[in-house]
Amino acid sequence: NTVNISMQKNDAEGNASYSNLAKGVSQGDWVTISTKFTLSQTEGSTYLYIEGSDGADLYVDDFSIEAEPETHPESDIAGLKDVYAKYFKFGTAVTESELAPSATKELILKHFNSITLGNELKPENMLDKAGCIANAEAGNEGEVSVKLNNSARTVLNFARDNNISVRGHVLVWHSQTPGWFFKENYDENGDYVDKETMLARMESYIKGVFEVLGEEYPDVDFYAWDVVNEAWLDDGQPRRPGTYEQAPQGNLSGWTAVFGDNSFIPYAFEYARKYAPEGTKLYYNDFNEYMPQKTEAIIEMANELKEKGLIDGIGMQSHLDARSGSDAFPSVSAYEKALKAFTETGLDVQITELDVTVNDNTLFDEQAKYYSDIMDAIVKYKDSVSAVIFWGVTDDSSWRASQCPLLFDADYKAKPAYYSITDGITPVEPTSTATTQPKTTTAVSETTTSSVTAKTLGDANCDGSVDISDAVLIKCYLIDNNKYPMSEQGVANSDVQGSGNGVNAQDAVSVQKYVIGIIKNFD
């Protein structure tokens, strides 16, 4: 049986928004479910729901709400936005509940200069059903009422107060758009409206979103918006007619139910171009964008929109899977092939929702290698890529949490993938051999047969140099020294703290500090 924890938030006007916080599966025994959330910064009410599968008995025990223990992300590693500053924006997606811990805010401020609201700006949260129905009753079925709820305000306030740019997501989408939006009198049981009425609703909605945000957040830099999201299937065909409620994870779309095809897309971009603030770039965004038939469909559509001056770029979601390493999907070459094809349109490309899953959490070295290769491919086309956005901040808050897809773990610690994608991006330029090279010392051994003679501090893999691969090896060695062994010489080299008690986490931190130039030598 599945147990879900969800939240309802009502703003001061009584408008409700909903979010799923966590779920667990019980086979008739007790299960522990924990989650994080934040209360709105403005007036309103909050409700938590604990619900089981239909017909299943549900018992709740030892329920508590506690303040998040104070913790802090690592301060002695380089910020990703700084590492990639000369290439592109480096961002993350976050929802209100994920933004709750102060450590999350600290990590975002250190590493990211772009925020995407994970759910709060999607149609289901921006549409005001009561207002829409009132408009229909007054004889204007094409006029849409748009609102901004407190969940969105919490994230937007954080972005505004910290001068972080925002990537808007999303205006026109089949998913998380309620079925009633496509029906006569805004009644989910009614008939679909005609194309003319739907176009009026689309224009009214897009205009309303930009007006509401412009009025309340004039100082926030909405530098990009996903105008249309996920309109093509993997075979390059439009989605099938239907509503989100009929198949939340399926291939149905209310837009194709009304239009019969994807002919609504140019209108969406036309209206977005008409009402978006000056300087806001407009994108088509999709997943599995590296599937050949979908790639072709996206490029054909994008070129047509480009000829009309309606589109600025293509968003590659990039939900990838390192699996066990050698079986990664897609292959790096397949991903790069799609990336290259998109850049050849002459449009901008943004990596909009990047994450990389693994089969289990013993495969972080394989994940790190795949991340590194993907980022190398992206940097190769840096002149055509303006932003790289990760879909989440820490593993535990990811929509794919069980597969640990991000750069930081639940304790806000950088994983091997972080180190793999910072390696070589900002190389330290030595000013003098005396201050920038690790010191060499003579190791003391209790036996005359030891293979350790002299050690170059920090050179964990004994390749004659000290770089990010040494820090990664030390961390992996500490996780599992059987799977990630080091030679006796490597262990001696890794004891940069000179503790004499072997290798520890502080040694890895010190090597990282040395590589990125925070320290000039090992004392």
Active-site option among 230, 270, 336, 366 = 230
Is 96 an active-site residue?
no
Q: Taking CA 408 as the corner, what is the angle to CA 402 and CA 411, rounded to the nearest 5 degrees?
A: 85
Query: Which string of DSSP letters, residue by residue, matches 219-237?
Result: TS-EEEEEEEE--B-TTSP
Using alpha carbons, select from 270, 168, 149 the residue that is nearest to residue 210.
168
CA dist., res. 466 & res. 457, Å (int): 8
Is 70 an active-site residue?
no
| 332, 290 Cβ separation under 8 angstroms | no
Q: Can you say whether the dihedral through the CA atoms of 279, 302, 269, 94 is positive or negative?
A: negative
Bridge-based pairing state of the strands 114-117 and 440-442: unpaired
Q: Map 259-304 to HEC letters.
A: HCCCCCHHHHHHHHHHHCCCCCEEEEEECCCCCHHHHHHHHHHHHH
Q: Counting runs of H as helices and runs of E as strands, what totals does the chain give?
A: 16, 16
Active-site option among 98, 120, 336, 353 = 353
Q: How far is CA 432 from CA 274, 315, 457, 468, in A?
A: 57, 44, 17, 20
* Structure-block tokens of residue 157: 């306030």
Catalytic residues: 230, 353
